[in-house]
A and B are shown apart, each in its own frame.
Chain A
Amino acid sequence: MPALLTEFASGLKNFLERVGRLARFGLQLAALTPGGLLRVRPIIEQVYNTGALSLVIIMTCGLFVGMVLGLQGYEMLSRFGSEEYLGTAVALGMLKELGPVITALLFAGRAGTAIAAELGLMRATDQIAAMEIMAVDPMRRVVLPRFLGGVIAMPLLSAIFIVIGLFGAQLVGVQWFGIDQGSFWSQMRGAVELDDIGEGLIKGAVFGVACSLIAVYEGYHALPTAEGVGRATTRTVVNSAVVTLFLDYILTAIML
């Protein structure tokens, strides 16, 4: 029993240590951000890497999520004879929850892992050490643009996901099941407030910061071995998913 207890205690200590390091890393990045924003070139490259290259997967998934919401929502609402509320249901569900959360999960899987693997491999092949020897700050030169690129790209991806999802739901509801197009959109307009959209965008931005931070942290601190790089990418996905869902609950509780 005591052995178990000490193991638990050391596990907890490890966890707290990692959270503390992550927070310190985040503060370091935040301190560098104002200066880093002036160097536009590397940030554009990273917005391209994390955003433009994720576009296809985000749009495809958004379409399917919207379509499945349309299908499920129609099935449910038609029991009460109120199919025209489908637009409202899909819009609120997408804006407030599914849009930002699923985008964040996809973002972690598509862009987060790429960042973590890239940084981990740079660490493993001593590129980061080489930069330090040349008195080039790797935080500024390598880590910061990737972080900022993710932060910029994520809310935009989330908005695109939501819009595509709405059209997916419209495709199923209006084109296939024959809900009136006018009432689909007007019911949606009647129920969605500007605050709801703000909530979705805030969530997208917060998840963007969290997922990008985790990706650069795990990549930068990867063990310089093949296995270490692999573990860094795994951790990126797992931690991003957990943190996203945790933050989602907190943000929802605050903004409800």
Chain B
Amino acid sequence: MRPSRTIDISTGLFVMLGLAAILFLVTQITNREFTVNSTSYRLRADFENIGGLKAGAPVSMAGVTVGRVEDIQYDMKLLKAVVTLRLDGRYNEIPNDSDASIFTAGLLGGQYVGLSPGGSEEFYKDGDRIEFVQDAVVLENLISKYLFNSASKTEAAPAAAPESQE
């Protein structure tokens, strides 16, 4: 057995190193750009279709993350998806006719809520509902729309466009 002082020191060093590693993981690796605090406020938006939006997804204005999607529920009366957004208290002067849309980050990225400012003089307050919304674009719908369109075109004028039947 080595003298106990050396053991104490190296044990202390080891424990500090371990705690420092945990601290590093918690503070440096996770997303800290938006934190929920007392000044943050909630907005509500009703969508017909939210696509693949998930709770925790970012809410952004002009590309800057100003909040997070807190909760997603389906309202049986409205027959719509009710999305609760939690916005950072720093951004408390958003015009109350701003609209919310669901976008996809990149071609395969996750979905997020984008707010684009309106021209109103008044601002959103805690608990307000966003009136103007735009649903998520579902890629399958777009493709099927495109396919059906082109199919009906070729059916309608088969003689006019014989080369399209190749």
Residue ranges of A at the interface with B (Cβ–Cβ < 8 Å): 44-45, 47-48, 51-52, 55, 91, 95, 153, 155-157, 159-160, 162-163, 166, 185, 188-190, 192-194, 197, 200-201
B30: A residues at CB distance < 8 A? 189, 192-194, 197
B19 touches A156 (CB 8 A): yes
A163 touches B14 (CB 8 A): no
Binary contact readout B1-32 vs A (1 if CB under 8 angstroms, 0 otherwise): 00010011011011101110110111011111
Binary contact readout B30-72 vs A (1 if CB under 8 angstroms, 0 otherwise): 1110000000000000000000000010000000000000000
B56: A residues at CB distance < 8 A? 193
B11 touches A48 (CB 8 A): yes
12 new A-B pairs (CB below 8 Å) besides A159-B25, A166-B29? Answer: A45-B11, A48-B7, A48-B11, A48-B14, A51-B14, A51-B15, A163-B21, A185-B28, A188-B29, A189-B32, A197-B30, A200-B25
Q: How far is the CA of A44 from the CA of B15 in the complex (A)?
A: 10
Q: Is the interface of A mostly helix, strand, loop or mixed?
A: helix
Shortest CB-to-CB span from A92 to chain B, Å, is 10
B29: A residues at CB distance < 8 A? 91, 95, 166, 188-189, 192, 197
| Residue of B7, B22, B25 with highest tally of chain A CB at under 10 A | B25
A189: B residues at CB distance < 8 A? 28-32
Shortest CB-to-CB span from B63 to chain A, Å, is 13
A55: B residues at CB distance < 8 A? 14, 17
A159 touches B8 (CB 8 A): no
B22 touches A201 (CB 8 A): yes
Q: How far is the CA of A190 from the CA of B57 in the complex (A)?
A: 10
Q: Which 5 A-B pairs have the closest CB atoms?
A: A156-B18, A159-B21, A52-B14, A48-B11, A163-B21
- Knowing A162-B21, A189-B32, the reply to whether A51 touches B11 (Cβ < 8 A) is yes
Q: Is the interface of B mostly helix, strand, loop or mixed?
A: helix
A193: B residues at CB distance < 8 A? 30-31, 56
B13: A residues at CB distance < 8 A? 52
- Knowing A192-B30, A194-B30, A197-B25, the reply to whether A156 touches B17 (Cβ < 8 A) is yes
B14: A residues at CB distance < 8 A? 47-48, 51-52, 55, 153, 156
Q: How far is the CA of A51 from the CA of B11 in the complex (A)?
A: 8
Shortest CB-to-CB span from B39 to chain A, Å, is 21
A44 touches B31 (CB 8 A): no
B21 touches A44 (CB 8 A): no
Shortest CB-to-CB span from B109 to chain A, Å, is 10
6 A-B pairs with CB atoms under 8 Å apart are A52-B10, A156-B14, A156-B19, A156-B22, A160-B21, A185-B28
Q: How far is the CA of A157 from the CA of B18 in the complex (A)?
A: 6
Q: How far is the CA of A52 from the CA of B14 in the complex (A)?
A: 5
Q: How far is the CA of A91 from the CA of B15 in the complex (A)?
A: 22
B19: A residues at CB distance < 8 A? 156
B17 touches A162 (CB 8 A): no
Q: How far is the CA of A130 from the CA of B1 in the complex (A)?
A: 21
Q: How far is the CA of A156 from the CA of B12 in the complex (A)?
A: 12
A192 touches B31 (CB 8 A): yes
B21: A residues at CB distance < 8 A? 156, 159-160, 162-163
A190: B residues at CB distance < 8 A? 31
B31 touches A52 (CB 8 A): no
Shortest CB-to-CB span from B5 to chain A, Å, is 11
B8: A residues at CB distance < 8 A? 44
A201: B residues at CB distance < 8 A? 22
Shortest CB-to-CB span from A193 to chain B, Å, is 6
Shortest CB-to-CB span from B30 to chain A, Å, is 5
